[in-house]
Structure 1
Amino acid sequence: MKTLVVYTHPNHQSLSYAFLQEVVRGSRENANIEDIRILDLYEEGFNPVLIFNERKRRRDMHADPALAKYREQLIWADKIVFIYPIWWGRPPAMLLGYIDQMFASGFAYRDNGRLLPEGLLKGKSVVCISTMKGPALYPMYWLYNAHKTLMRKALFNFVGIKKVKFFEFGSMESPRGRHQEKLHKIYRFFKTVAA
């Protein structure tokens, strides 16, 4: 299993970065994971801004040469891991900009004249690891599970990815946030995950 980790946090002293380290550590101890690659969107200097004009059209985004290496990473991966904080009830704008550009028509899905398009990323699986200041139940009860709905239904199912697992960790700025326990949970998951 080849694993691509898309890390989205501007600070390498953050708890998100600690989760990244546990993903890598567990993956390297897992015989089912043959290779792991990390895409750090901030360190990479990824430009999340969509630009469309008379020379750059939305319908051609699936073949944009500036995004070729990122498309190759997604094609290469069997499992895609997203690590990010929840800000204002959703992933950071940097990650949303990556999603807007990478999950494009002609690459991630194809219109087929039906109600839903044909997903072109079938067979892949996704793990989303997110942290938030508020309590873990806040998104479910106050925001009607908007984050999971956005990621699972509006994005991953749309492009053919059916196997999606979420780790939403709340109260992460609290001294009672049980950080070590949650970090160890991620390490154990990646050490033993089979597909």
Structure 2
Amino acid sequence: MTQDIPAMAPPVRHVVVLCHPDPESFNRAIAETYCAAVRAAGHDVVFRDLYAIGFDPVLKTYERPTLAGFQRASDVARELALISQGDVFVLIYPIWFGSAPAMMKGYVERVLGAGVDPQAIQRNDASALLGGKRLLSFTTSATQTLWLDVQGEGQALRSVFDRYLVSAFGMHSQRHVHLGHITCQQSGRFARQDLSQVEEEAQRICDELRDPTNARDLACVA
């Protein structure tokens, strides 16, 4: 008599979206550090470098879900096929002029929000792609974090971008890690400290997904 072998659950999938034009940027180092840490924990990673793939952030008229003839562009369909079944969505980008780069905003509009009708947002309907998933953001700036906070930019970005994504798409939770004073003159010691914090965040979320009962506070951090 054969005994049924229970099917193994698929590995956790992290969708890591990087938005920075310099392939040798510190943002790239953040992405590589995060990906390496979650892979070491046995999780899957889908890595999308928006500049490297030449992503077009411009929303087309026919892509608007409010139109009767709504269509999904081929490049968006390819992106959705790649990032589907994600459990954690990680956004990595610099703060430019108080907000996310235009290409990152375009990725949210064209891909993460593909086909999402404003009425569904008002009804708090969970997105098929993002509903119930976790959001983790890493941002950088050349200025000190304290200066950004005094200007109100850090809080504004978290409210307008992160929290909106969570509430609009029915995501499970969000966490935002900002690394300030990232410049070409940054010392190796401080760079290693920042990357160590990235690694700790990766390990934290992997531990949380392994045992949700031990989840730590998901409030935003600077």
Q: Same fold (TM over 0.5)?
A: yes
TM-score range, shorter chain: 0.7 to 0.9
Max Rg structure:
2
Letter in 1 for 2:133: K
Does the alignment pair 1:16 with 2:27? yes
Q: Which residue of 1 aligns with 2:41?
A: 30
Preserved CA contact (<8 Å) 1:118 1:159: yes
Q: Distance in 2 between matches of 1:171 and 1:178?
A: 10
Which residue pairs with 1:58 in the alignment?
64
Partner-residue secondary structure (3-state), 1:96: helix
- 1:164 Cα deviation from its structure 2 partner: 0.7
Question: What's 2:140 paired with?
Answer: 131
Classify 1:175/1:162 alpha carbon distance in 2 versus 1 (closer, same or farther; 3 Å).
same
Residue of structure 1 in register with 2:167 after alignment: 157
Displacement after TM superposition at 1:74 (Å): 3.7
Structure 2 counterpart of 1:119, from 110, 122, 126: 126
Which shows bigger deviation, 65-74 or 156-165? Answer: 65-74
The residue that corresponds to 2:16 in the other structure is 5
**Preserved contact between residue 136 and residue 174 of structure 2 (Cα < 8 Å):** yes
Deviation at 1:105, TM superposition (A): 6.0
Unaligned runs of 5+ in 1: none
Greater relative CO (CA pairs within 8 A, separation 6+): 1
Paired residue type of 2:157: H
Q: Give 1:183's aligned residue.
A: 195
**Alpha carbons of structure 1 residues 64 and 189: separation in structure 2 relative to 1, 3 Å:** same
Equivalence for 2:217: none
Q: Distance in 2 between matches of 1:62 and 1:36?
A: 28
What secondary structure sits across from 1:3 in the alignment? strand
Question: Is 1:88 the equivalent of 2:97?
Answer: yes
1:125 alignment partner AA: R
Aligned-residue sequence identity (percent) comes to 22
Give the TM-score taking structure 2 as reference length. 0.76
CA RMSD of aligned residues (A): 2.3
TM-score for the superposition, normalised by structure 1:
0.85
**Aligned twin of 1:100:** 109
4+ runs of 1 displaced by more than 6 Å?
A: none
Structure 2 unmatched ranges of 5 or more:
1-11, 210-222
